Amino acid sequence: MYLAEHAWPDLASYFESKSLAIVPLGSTEQHGPHLPEGTDHLIAEGFAREAAARTGYLCTPTINVGVSAHHRQFPGTMWVDPPAFRDYVESFSRNLAYHGIDRIVYVNAHGGNVEHLREVGRRLHEDGVAFAVEWMWNESIPELVDEVFEQNGPHGGPKETALIQHLAGDLVHDERLEDARDGGLRDIETAETTKFGSRTFYDAIDNSDNGVFGDQTDATPQKGERLFEAASDQLVELCSWLAGQDIDDLLPASHV
């Protein structure tokens, strides 16, 4: 059920009977010469709407711009500062709680959002407003991702390329896959991004001239479909589990 497509009386019926919402979040940022800047939010919305279609749970409109300043050197990248992002997502979530939602799944497809979504979830939990969890598709199927790709990326690599080939293939510049591989960083291990236990870079361009990692030529739409189906199964299971919990067991215990 996609919120933006329904009239308020129909939504009122949903809120009377269910208390879970699926919120897709991503980014609008460079993903190399071969993928669209909307890669992350397209992936997030794809998973969220698939899970909503399978389960009947509510899917909200997508939050398309995230914490992406580390890609700012590449034309077109958009971002918001972390405090603004956290406050916006928290306000958005409290809006859902006003309508009766007390469980939220943040379907996230951008690594830069992770820590901030978890912080928002902590705030909402601490205040007893809602139980909100962050879900990242590749973290739900890590063994499969490693099985399918020799070098999976991370950013703009074959796993994201394969998913966009499956979800929105007309937006992929297949003729640039070799350029993406050869102009980026094929093996992230060779970048020596940590020294003596410290991370020694801030921006994507510090390690990759074209902003991406991995071997993009290893991607196919068939691999993308396999990943999409497997991760969607995991998201459906998460939603079903969360909906079945007693809210009193999810919210903070009383102070002793």
> What is the b/e burial string over 220-237, where b = at least 16 CB atoms within 10 angstroms of the residue's CB?
ebebbebbbebbbebbbe
Identify the pLDDT of residue 192.
78
What confidence tier does 130 reach under pLDDT thresholds 50, 70, 90? very high
- Across 31-53, average pLDDT: 98
Identify the pLDDT of residue 108.
98
> What is the b/e burial string over 171-199, where b = at least 16 CB atoms within 10 angstroms of the residue's CB?
ebeeebbeebbebbbbebeeeeeeeeeee
What proportion of the chain, given as a percentage, has pLDDT over 90? 90
Question: What CA–CA distances, in Å, run from 28 to 37, 118, 160?
Answer: 5, 20, 14
- pLDDT for 144 beyond 90: yes
Name the residue type at position 146.
D
Does the residue 213 lie in any domain? yes
| Domain span at 224 | 3-250
Does the residue 180 lie in any domain? yes
N residues, the chain: 256
Identify the pLDDT of residue 191.
74
Identify the pLDDT of residue 194.
83
Note the pLDDT tens digit of each residue in 5-36: 999 999 999 999 999 999 999 999 999 999 99
First vs last Cα of the chain: how many Å apart? 41
64 closest CA partner among 48, 36, 41, 80: 41
C-alpha span between 53 and 135 (Å, rounded):
18
18 closest CA partner among 96, 108, 95, 91: 96
C-alpha span between 214 and 149 (Å, rounded):
9
Does the residue 255 lie in any domain? no
Identify the pLDDT of residue 245.
96
Does the residue 256 lie in any domain? no
Q: Are 242 and 159 in contact (CB under 8 A)?
A: no
In the chain, the number of structural domains is 1
Question: Would you call the peptide bond into 252 cis, given omega within 30 degrees of 0 as the criterion?
Answer: no
38 closest CA partner among 18, 2, 81, 68: 68
Does the residue 93 lie in any domain? yes
- pLDDT for 116 beyond 90: yes
C-alpha span between 176 and 256 (Å, rounded):
60
User: What are the structure tokens assigned to 6, written together?
Assistant: 């329904």
| Summary mean pLDDT of the chain | 95
Does the residue 103 lie in any domain? yes
- Across 145-150, average pLDDT: 94
Note the pLDDT tens digit of each residue in 154-213: 899 999 999 999 999 999 999 999 999 999 988 877 777 888 989 888 999 999 999 999
Does the residue 62 lie in any domain? yes
CATH of the domain at 240: 3.40.50.10310
Does the residue 221 lie in any domain? yes
